[in-house]
Amino acid sequence: MTTDGAMLGLAASARAWAKVNLTLHVTGQRSDGYHLLDSLVVRAGVGDVLSVTPSDQLGLSVDGVFAEAAPLDGRNLVVRAARLLDDGVGRGAQIQLTKQLPAAAGIGGGSADAAATLHLLGAHWGLPVPADVSELGADVPVCLQDHPQRMRGVGEVLTPAGPLPPCWLVLVNPNKSAATPDVFNQLETKLNPPMPDVLPVFDNVPAFAAWLGTQRNDLESAAMPIVPEIADCLGALQDALLARMSGSGATCFGLYESEYLANRAAARIGKAQPGWWVAAGPVLS
């Protein structure tokens, strides 16, 4: 998340960057049903845009490619984040959300929007981000971070990861959504090994990709029966150093060593599959 011009009471804007799970190990399940994870999470330089202007009342308007998937009421995490921050006082602001990330896509679009809202309105209203944002969802804490994170527990245990070598991602979604509960229900084994206790330090992108190849996304095989096109997305990323599904899907990512290679792959895939959502962006660190 980055904020531009965030001054108390003035108009400001922020980017809500896509969250990408480079690894996602499902390591257990709590008695309340929540799954335990061990995941290396980065932000890609592709995202939604939020802006805020002064207003007597709290309001939300949405535009963008995926605007139809974004409700304007309390079902939207932007509204819920604003209400959490306001804490019943009744502060006003007009929020504009330009929705450029697909919904239910495994890249934390709604969670990134909520995190950006907390930062943006916090600056607008002169308030700190609440210490506990768990009611907004398990991915919101990691989306509040600007740097790569190792995410454990149900998403609340965060440890800075890196430094990572400069690299690029191509994100590909077949314009299909995968509901997270449905994907977890397909998971056969919920007690899997975590990542190593200490993550390596990587000198270059090929070494980083090679190590990532020894890790997993345990939800990938579980999501494929729900969205078979995931296999096609992975196949389209065959020239990447690594191709894998992010989160619970259906978005897949390809890891590339340079902006040129990533943009070339994105253009190739977009031309071959005009009905897919394809975007390229750097790993933000």
Residue among 64, 274, 46, 272 nearest 170 (CA): 46
Per the annotation, the verdict on 190 as an active-site residue is no
Band (53; pLDDT cuts 50, 70, 90) = very high
Strand 58-63 and strand 93-98: the pairing is: parallel
pLDDT digits 0-9 by tens, 155-204: 999 999 989 999 999 999 999 999 999 999 999 999 999 999 999 999 99
pLDDT digits 0-9 by tens, 73-105: 999 999 999 999 999 999 999 999 999 999 999
CA distance 15 to 9: 19
Percent of the chain with pLDDT over 90: 95
Per the annotation, the verdict on 139 as an active-site residue is yes
Single out the catalytic residue among 19, 48, 99, 218: 19
The H or E element that residue 185 is part of is helix 180-186
Could you give all domains of the chain from N- to C-terminal order, each with its CATH number?
A: 2-284 (3.30.230.10)
Single out the catalytic residue among 38, 48, 113, 139: 139
Q: Is the Cβ–Cβ distance between 112 and 16 less than 8 Å? A: yes
Phi, psi angles (nearest 5°) of residue 259: -60, -40
Mean pLDDT for the chain overall: 95
Q: Is 108 exposed, middle or buried (0-12, 13-18, 19+ CB in 10 A)?
A: buried
